[in-house]
Amino acid sequence: MLDWIGTIIQGVLLGGLYALFAAGLSLIFGIMRLVNLAHGDLIVLAAFAILALASWFGIDPWLATLLAMPAMFAVGFGLQQLLLNRTLGRDLLPPLLVTFGLSIIIQNGLLEAFTADSRRLRLGAIETASIQLGGNLAIGVMPLLTLGSAIAVILLLNLLFYRTALGRAFRATSDDLEIAQLMGIDHHRIYAIAMAIAMLVATVAALYLGAGANFDPTIGPARLIYAFEAVIIGGLGSLWGTLAGGIVIGVAQTVGAKINPEWQILAGHLAFLAVVLLRPRGLFPRAED
Amino acid sequence: MSAALLETTGLDARYGDFQALYGIDSAVASGETVAIIGANGAGKSSYLKAIAGLIRTEPDSVRFEGRPIGGLGAANILKLGIALVPEGRRLFASLTVEENLQIGSYARDVAGPWSLDAIYALFPALQRRRAAPSHTLSGGEQQMAAIGRALMSNPRLLLCDEISLGLAPIVIRNLYEVIPRIKQSGTSIVLVEQDLAQALKVADRVYCFQEGRVSLSGRPAELTREQIHLAYFGH
């Protein structure tokens, strides 16, 4: 019994990581209906940025993450203003094709710059630290920090969305683009700010991705699948739903792995298919659209 | 007439291959209320959309305070002081009433007679529903919120597209009672209206459109019913 509880707790904590992968994706889709196929690669790019900054300046990855955040913010803003804004329109295909191409470019650029070697962000003793819950239950400090960060990120994004003028402009642009322009809102700039914020979240995700497991330039798309599943399980455009979606996949994977280690990945995808079958619009669909 | 606040000269407007406006010459003086009347499809809404920047036009065909503004784009035109109350209200569905009003001053937050408090004084019904999601409002309340949202930018020129559309006569009368108060604040107004009686009552001048052209213009008192009928229907 106790080890099942442990398994589920592990799954919930793993869900925090998937939610971090997915939050940026959810934000972007919610505001501009853009499906960013390069999101996973942008997270990997951020992980390499943290790695590079940490080794150049001889600082630890936490500090390097803080330095990487403004850089990734700028990358997101520029990417949207210079490239992705030109692909948005009535047709859904151009942004898909362009972000797919971007994914390939980022992977190959990273291969050139960093080779195909597996890397890891080293955080020291905290990596193996755990908290004893009594009995045989113990939870790792890093997974707990990951989930805590995911909750904090989503809380902050919700505050931004529902408590600030910028958030109102985000929602208004998402509701009715034409009328938003009538209100003097420069939607291209709004989209660029949204992508920049998504890249801040991606940088946080990159820290936990790189600290939790090995990474190399090509792992982005595989991580992206979980992120897409989390967004769809939660309901498109709902950030708390995205967290719930991440947790559903995380728990399904750890429970699947507990039954048979070969089932880990499969169980996550099956949980996704089950939700899509039973609740096609996800667990927390938005009232609109 | 004093120097025009808004002037259109030979204004054409197209949606793809369809031409909606043919060489519209019009002017709105500072402080004036102008009504645009005409049958369905006469180009009234297209005229407002062209001024507000939702339809691309030649730069020189629309001048605001003497400056060419055609083709500047809706977001830039709002910042110059032209606000449109769109046909069908089109409030932001995921925003509350108050958030809809606040969005009005997001890009043009200038000092002027209009603020949240002033809008609530103009439409007390909105204050009671300030925290409500905008889609839960009645049609009349939605129209109040749409007018309030446009006023929040303290525009020099307010464009109103069919504010009586789909509303009960009593609600329309209440809405039209606030037009003189908006006028008193110094804002110039262009009203597009199917409800002829309301339009003629509040307007200083009227333009009648027929198939994308101006078929008649003048002061309401100087126009006869026959003239208006002929300009309206063309027969």
Q: Interface pTM (ipTM) of the complex? A: 0.91
Residue A117 to residue A115: CA distance in whole angstroms = 6
Residue with tokens 């048979």, as numbered in its chain: A260
B126: Cβ–Cβ under 8 A, 6 or more apart, which residues?
Answer: B97, B101, B119, B120, B141, B144, B145, B148
Yes or no, beta carbons of A174 and B106 under 8 Å apart: no
Distance CA B180, CA B85 (A): 16
Q: How many domains does chain A have?
A: 1
What pLDDT digit, counting tens, does each position of B98-146 carry? Answer: 999 999 999 999 999 999 999 999 999 999 999 999 999 999 999 999 9
Indicate the DSSP class of residue B136.
Answer: G
Q: What is residue A236's predicted lDDT score, i.e. its pLDDT?
A: 83
Which chain B residue lies closest to A171 (C-alpha atoms)? B94
In this predicted model, what pLDDT tens digit does every residue of A152-208 receive, in sequence order? 999 999 999 999 999 999 999 999 999 999 999 999 999 999 999 999 999 999 999
Residue A109 in any domain: the answer is yes
Q: Is residue A62 part of a domain?
A: yes
Q: Which domain holds residue B170?
A: 4-233
CA distance B119 to A69: 41
Give the residue among B87, B144, B9 at the shortest CA–CA distance from A182.
B87
**A278 within some domain:** no
Distance from the Cα of B212 to chain A's closest Cα (Å) equals 23
Please state, in angstroms and as integers, the Cα–Cα distance from residue B202 to each residue in A196, B180, B221, following that order.
48, 7, 12
CB A50 within 8 A of CB A203: yes
Find the closest chain B residue to A185 by CA distance: B75
Q: Is the CB of A184 less than 8 angstroms away from the CB of B99?
A: no
Residue closest to A27 by CA, chosen among A147, A205, A186 = A205
Q: What are A's interface residues with B at a Cβ cutoff of 8 A?
A: 165, 168-169, 171-172, 174-176, 178-187, 286-288
Cβ within 8 Å, pair A182-B74: yes
Q: According to the model, what pLDDT value does residue A237 have?
A: 78
The number of distinct structural domains making up chain B is 1
The per-residue pLDDT for B232 is 86
User: What one-letter code names the amino acid at B72?
Assistant: L
Measured between beta carbons, the chain A residues lying within 8 angstroms of B102 are: 165, 168
**Chain centroid to CA A18:** 6
Residues whose CB is less than 8 angstroms from the CB of residue A213 and which lie 6 or more positions away in sequence, other chains included? A120
Instruction: Please indicate, yes or no, if residue A194 is contained in any of the structural domains.
Output: yes
Crossing angle for the helix pair A220-234 and A2-32, to the nearest 10 degrees:
90
For residue A228, being part of any structural domain is answered with: no
pLDDT-flagged residues of chain A (< 70)? 287-289
CATH number at residue B113: 3.40.50.300
Angstrom CA distances, A191 to A171, A176, B27, stand at: 11, 14, 37
Tell me what pLDDT residue B72 has.
Answer: 93
| E runs forming strands in A110-208 | 130-132, 138-140
Contact between residue A274 and residue A40 where contact means Cβ atoms under 8 Å apart: no
Residue of chain B nearest A286, judged by CA positions: B94
Is B90 in Cβ contact with A184 (below 8 Å)? no
CA distance A172 to chain B (A): 6
A133, part of any domain = yes
* DSSP helix/strand/coil, A135: coil
Edge-first strand order for the sheet with B205-210 is B82-85, B157-161, B188-192, B33-38, B205-210, B213-218
Residues B21-68 pLDDT 10s: 999 999 999 999 999 999 888 999 999 999 999 999 999 999 999 999
CB atoms within 10 A of CB A46: 27
Euclidean distance between CA atoms A285 and A56, whole angstroms? 45
CA distance to partner chain B, nearest, from residue A15 (Å):
28
B83, B84, B102 member nearest A165 (Cβ): B102
Q: How far apart are CA B62 and CA B53, in angstroms?
A: 10
Please state, as a whole number, how many other Cβ atoms lie within 10 Å of the Cβ of residue B98: 21
B75: nearest CA in chain A?
Answer: A184
* Site from A158, A160, A182 to mutate, B interface, most B CB atoms within 10 angstroms: A182
Q: State the Cα–Cα distance between residues A54 and B137, nearest whole angstrom.
A: 55
**Inter-chain touch A181–B73, beta carbons under 8 Å:** yes
pLDDT over 50 (residue B1): no
Domain holding A158, by residue range, is 2-220
CB contact under 8 A, B75 and A171: no
Token pair 């699948």: residue: A225
Q: Which residue of B has its CA nearest to A188?
A: B75
Name residue A165's amino acid. Answer: A
Give B153's contacts in chain A (Cβ within 8 Å): 183-184
